């Protein structure tokens, strides 16, 4: 049985890699993939804490997070398709129309 | 312990492929590897129902959606262009190192409230029954809110991707013809008509 700390370390590494991806990749789809990576890192930490406390609340929270991620992907990809039809690109740098 | 040592490097390699791959299809396949490894880690954490859900919902449904959109938009090629923020890579690297360091400190100073051998039996294996029990008692309000959210997401996705009935200039879709229409005669035929008429006049 691996200690809880190992799982948290792995979760932190995955989260950091996902954050680097969100900041450096220029395609909207790649940004989305990196966000999924960060969500999974958070889920892993939640399940590790659930085992540490012997409470199923953490695992149930992961279930809710998974549903949220599915809804987010459905809406986000629909927005990407709509933008691609209008602009012929998904480069996030050219989509700065709402910049203040 | 052995399961963790086998699955953790796989998850990290998949994550690095996800972030570093030039081709979007390769990146999403790397993410599938990470998701499957995380599902295995869930199973090693006594969360069997979540492991199954991870494989079905994440690695199955969500990644199919991603691959579908990548191929629909033909977006698997990388975008080559200059960075508008020149130092964003360095900033991301520094931020990632700081974040990973903070998590490492947390990880190696974390102490379980109780010994794991005492708390693991409370999870009852993390099967669908125990998890559903918590979901429909303590998490009842989030559960109902999520159902509404999913409905809104479905309706929103359909509304976003439906084509407008007419183009912005008011021309209906079926009347927008790019090729020369059938009423306009070919160039050669028009020239012969002009030539014969001139010849007749002479």
For residue B26, the chain A residues in CB contact (below 8 A) are none
| pLDDT at residue B14, rounded to an integer | 94
Give the tokens for residue A4.
């809880």
Q: Is the ipTM of this complex over 0.85?
A: yes
Task: Count how many residues are written for chain B.
Answer: 202
Cβ of residue A76 closer than 8 Å to a chain B Cβ? no
Kindly determine whether residue B100 and residue A13, on different chains, have CB atoms separated by under 8 Å: yes
Kindly determine whether residue A18 and residue B108, on different chains, have CB atoms separated by under 8 Å: no
Q: How far apart are CA B20 and CA B35, in angstroms?
A: 17
Give the tokens for residue B114.
């109780």
Q: Give the closest of A4, A44, A69 to B112, CB-based.
A: A4
Give the tokens for residue B59.
């690695």
Q: How do residues A84-94 score in pLDDT, each as one tens digit?
A: 887 777 777 77
The partner residues of A91 in beta bridges, in order of sequence, read A27
Ordered mean pLDDT values, 10 residues apiece, chain B (202 residues): 90 92 89 94 91 91 89 72 72 88 84 76 81 90 93 90 66 59 54 51 48
pTM of the model as a whole: 0.80
Give the tokens for residue A60.
């149930």
For residue B155, the chain A residues in CB contact (below 8 A) are none
Half-sphere exposure in the Cβ direction for B75 (13 Å, CA):
26
Kindly determine whether residue A59 and residue B47, on different chains, have CB atoms separated by under 8 Å: yes
Kindly determine whether residue A13 and residue B143, on different chains, have CB atoms separated by under 8 Å: no
Residue B164 Cα distances to A74, A76, B113, angstroms: 20, 19, 58
| pLDDT at residue A43, rounded to an integer | 94
């Amino acid at each position: 049985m691996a200690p809880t700390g190992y799982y948290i370390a792995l979760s932190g590494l995955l989260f950091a890699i996902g954050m680097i991806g969100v900041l450096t990749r220029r395609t909207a789809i790649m940004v989305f993939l990196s966000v999924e990576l960060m969500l999974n890192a958070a889920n892993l930490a939640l399940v590790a804490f659930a085992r540490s406390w012997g409470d199923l609340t953490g695992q149930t929270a992961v279930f809710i997070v998974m549903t949220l991620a599915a809804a987010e992907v459905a809406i986000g990809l629909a927005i990407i398709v709509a933008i691609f039809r209008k602009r012929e690109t998904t480069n996030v740098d050219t989509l700065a129309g709402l910049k203040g | 312990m052995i399961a963790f040592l086998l699955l953790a490097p796989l998850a990290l390699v998949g994550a690095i492929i996800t972030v570093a791959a030039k081709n979007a299809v390769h990146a999403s396949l790397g993410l599938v590897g990470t998701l499957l490894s995380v599902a295995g880690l869930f199973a090693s954490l006594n969360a069997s129902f979540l492991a199954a859900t991870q494989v079905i919902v994440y690695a199955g449904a969500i990644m199919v959606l991603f691959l579908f959109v990548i191929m629909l938009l033909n977006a698997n090629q990388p975008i080559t262009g200059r960075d508008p923020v020149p130092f964003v890579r360095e900033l991301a690297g520094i931020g990632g190192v700081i974040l990973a360091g903070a998590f490492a400190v947390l990880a190696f100073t974390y102490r379980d409230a109780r010994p794991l051998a005492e708390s693991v039996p409370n999870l009852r294996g993390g099967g669908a029954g125990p998890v559903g029990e918590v979901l429909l008692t303590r998490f009842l309000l989030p559960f109902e809110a999520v159902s509404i959210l999913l409905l809104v997401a479905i309706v929103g996705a359909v509304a976003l991707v439906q084509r407008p009935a007419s183009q912005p200039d008011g021309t209906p879709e079926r009347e927008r013809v790019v090729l020369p229409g059938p009423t306009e005669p070919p160039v050669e035929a028009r020239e012969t008509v002009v030539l014969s008429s001139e010849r007749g006049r002479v």
